[in-house]
Amino acid sequence: MSAREIENMEAINAELRQWCHELPKVELHAHLNGSIRDSTLLELVKNHGDNGVLISKDVEQMILEKGTSLRKCFELFAVYHVLATDHETVKRITKEAVEDFAADNCIYLELRTTPKKNEAKGMTKRSYMDAVIDGLKAVDTVDVDLCGCELTNKKNGDWRRKKIFVRLLLSINRSEATSAAIETVNLAMEMKEMGVVGIDLSGDPTVGQWDTVLPALEHARKLGLPVTLHCGEVRNSKEIQAMLDFNPQRLGHVCLLAEEDWERLKSLMIPVEICLTSNIMTQTIPLIEYHHFADLYKSKHPLSLCTDDTGLFSTTLSNEYYKAAVTFGLGKEEMFKLAQEAVDFVFANEDVKKHLAQNYEEAKARIL
């Protein structure tokens, strides 16, 4: 390839990256502690110092190495939780995560997090969530709509400020006992008027039993709370079939499904939260060219591109769109349609969906 051709290609890529950044986007699968900025983590490590449990040098190395396998991801999360589970830090990482997604032109963010207890810090699952809400209220770069009410009043009446709709999912960690999982579902119900719109099942897929968490998920269903499940990050056909039997509103990942389960997923048309970089970085999918996004996209299966953990995987939602475009040869119209269709799968109410749909109508003329 000549220097001129390389220059041309780089210019095309740069333009496409910029376009993906400007595209209004909907994020449906983002974990709060997975979205902590590296700079914040490194500051937390420094402030935490060495206490025999965490050795700063080792932790810094782990943070910079990133989540290069599922096992490493969960080792990192255990460290993040030591560093970040106090009210002040939970408030800070929430504020920063929302500001980062807004800066990446996300117009709607479903932020999921596992409510945590921390007796040493006087933290209950409820006070953890109150700190998350405080973080949303502290956002000052854009207007945040959390529950149909704008949390931040427009700075000096500046109506041109960007707005991001944020809704919250409470995560059940699959290593929790049934009672703890039910406590999280009840907390979600208690906070429905404060922007909580659903339940996520996540956590290390190599631990925990489906039957332990199922009563809590059935409880959520009875209460009318939508559910999304991490599914198929490891081979476990019995559990995957049980998740398909449960027929949740959405599924995350669906990487390692046996052929019959794959066909059943497609016949059920359950919307899938696709996390390209996460699946490649954790080596769940060996090569992006083999990613099941292509099969689902070709079969017109409902799906949405997501980040999973922007901090852990050094990605953004714009980058996920860019990767999909260059890997699977999608044009701007197809990318725009993919982003726009994600609105159909949000757990927020019809009013929010109408706002988002209108946003896309306005954006169409601007960027297509």
Ligand X SMILES: CNc1ncnc2c1ncn2[C@@H]1O[C@H](COP(=O)(O)O)[C@@H](O)[C@H]1O
183 belongs to the binding site for ligand X (CB under 6 A) = no
The 319-358 site mask, x for binding ligand X (CB under 6 A), equals ----------------------------------------
Spell out the residues 6+ positions from residue 293 whose beta carbon is closer than 8 angstroms to its own: 274, 276, 303, 324, 328
Q: Tokens 């497609």 map to which residue?
A: 266
77 belongs to the binding site for ligand X (CB under 6 A) = yes
Query: Which of the choices ligand X, Zn ion, none does residue 282 contact, using the CB cut-off of 5 to 8 A by kind?
Result: ligand X
89 belongs to the binding site for ligand X (CB under 6 A) = no
Residue 114 · residue 77 · CB < 8 Å: no
Report CA-CA distances (Å) from 140 to 66, 95, 135, 153, 275.
Answer: 29, 9, 10, 10, 28
233 belongs to the binding site for ligand X (CB under 6 A) = yes
Among 105, 152, 202, 310, binds ligand X (CB under 6 A): 202
Helix (H, G, I), strand (E, B) or coil at 330: coil
Q: Between residues 96 and 273, which has the closer beta carbon with respect to Zn ion?
A: 273
Question: Where along the sequence are the contacts to Zn ion (CB under 5 A)?
Answer: 308
99 belongs to the binding site for ligand X (CB under 6 A) = no
Among the residue ranges 25-33, 191-199, 295-303, 329-337, the one whose residues contact ligand X (CB under 6 A) = 25-33
Which of 27, 99, 176, 233 is the catalytic position? Answer: 233
The length of the chain in residues reads: 368
Rounded CA-CA distance 241/239 in Å is 5
Q: Between residues 188 and 335, which has the closer beta carbon with respect to ligand X?
A: 188
Q: Which of 167, 173, 269, 305 is nearest to 226 (CA)?
A: 167
**Residue 233 a catalytic site member:** yes
Cα angle 133, 139, 144 (rounded to 5 degrees) comes to: 75
Question: Which segments of 148-196 does DSSP mark as H helices, in order?
Answer: 178-190
Q: Between residues 33 and 105, which has the closer beta carbon with respect to ligand X?
A: 33
Q: Between residues 89 and 282, which has the closer beta carbon with respect to Zn ion?
A: 282
- The binding site for ligand X (CB under 6 A) comprises 31-34, 73, 77, 113-114, 171, 173, 202-203, 230, 233, 278, 282, 308-309
Catalytic positions, please? 233
